[in-house]
Amino acid sequence: MKASFLSVLILVLRLSTLRGEDYCTEPQQLFSEYYVFSVPEKLMEQAPKWNSSESPLPLSPEIAAKNAVLCLASAFPEIPRWRVESITLKRLFSDRWIYLVEASDITTAVAGIPWKLTVPVLLDGVTVAPAKVPANEQE
């Protein structure tokens, strides 16, 4: 059985997050293209640490959402409005956390279903631009 490049890429990205290297999202579709968000390990190391028994978080969910929407607006200026659907706080390592902000494009929904992307936001508010998965590597 031949595995598609996309399924192999997803497996590699998942394994790399387990080894403590760059954090990568799974490929996400927007229109006919696929994108990944890859946060370099160096950026994660520079972000504030947070112990879950401490309070408050170094970055509020509201600021994380704002930064994610700004990242998407910059990467996709043809999409006029993004709506935040969810904000998740995810532990990457014992004291390293990241927000995953899911936002939808409510202006170009297909059959009433909006396109959605999940943007990683570090606890210092840093986001990374999405990288397009080359067309010949999508399937």
Domain enclosing residue 121, as ranges: 5-137
DSSP summary character for residue 125: S
For residues 15 and 27, give the distance between their C-alpha atoms in angstroms, rounded to a whole number: 14
Q: What are phi and psi of 9, to 5 degrees?
A: -60, -45
pLDDT tens digits, 24-60: 999 999 988 999 999 999 999 999 999 888 778 999 9
Whole-structure pTM value:
0.81
| Residue 6 in tokens | 């996309």
Res 112: pLDDT: 77
Residues of the chain with pLDDT below 50 are 1-2, 5-19
Q: How far out from the chain centre does Cα 46 lie?
A: 18
Res 111: pLDDT: 77
| Residue 102 in tokens | 């899911």
Domain tally, the chain: 1
Res 138: pLDDT: 60
